[in-house]
Amino acid sequence: MHKAVFPGSFDPVTCGHLDVLARAARLFDEVVVAVLENPDKQPLFTTAERVRLIQVAVAEAGLQNVTVDSFSGLLVEYVRLVGARAVVRGVRGVSDVAAETMLAQMNRRLNPAAETVFLPANPEYSYVSSSLLKQVASLGGPLAGLVPPHVAAALQAKWPRSAADRNQP
């Protein structure tokens, strides 16, 4: 039984995350998406909202071997708790690889039993990040194709004014 954890802030989940998740679900028997509950950060969506948005996307994609959970504290402790052997991270380019390598090496020191696996992002989503999408949404820009429709609706609900409204004199 090869179980992996796919951790992240997922504030909110994007098509890039979901592409990596679907590919991880083909590589491992079971994948647990682990949403970070970080008391130091003020996310746009609550932990429960972020979990729910991913659960809906997972159900829509029919990913039967994927579950969604949240965690706080050290990732490697959570990995140990759920009995996983791998951590999956998507990497969009060299800057992600540099940052993720340091994270993976620290995690390896903290728990040598957990291996980190990098999956290169689909080039279609290599520029997509939750932060950029929040910026686009806050300015009323279109989100189609970058997040699933239910996530776009959740983002748009946070900033109901459209781009057209903004440019009215």
Residue pair 68/35 in contact by the 8 Å Cβ criterion? yes
Out of 59, 106, 139, 163, name the contact with ligand PNS by CB under 6 A.
106
Residues 110-169 that bind ligand PNS (CB under 6 A): none
Residue 7 interacts with ligand PNS (CB under 6 A): yes or no: yes
**Torsion angle of C-alpha atoms 56, 62, 65, 71, degrees rounded to 10:** -10
Give the Cα separation of 106 and 110 in Å (integer): 6
Candidates 17, 50, 89, 134; catalytic one: 17
Residue 74 interacts with ligand PNS (CB under 6 A): yes or no: yes
Active site residue 17: yes
Least Å from the CB of residue 97 to ligand PNS:
13
If the CB atoms of residues 42 and 168 are measured against ligand PNS, the closer one turns out to be 42
Which residues touch 52 (CB under 8 Å, ≥6 apart)?
A: none
- Start-to-end Cα distance in the chain: 61
Helix (H), strand (E) at residue 147: none
Binding mask 9-48 for ligand PNS (x = CB under 6 A): x--------------------------x------------
β partners of residue 7: 34
What residues act catalytically? Answer: 17, 41, 92, 130
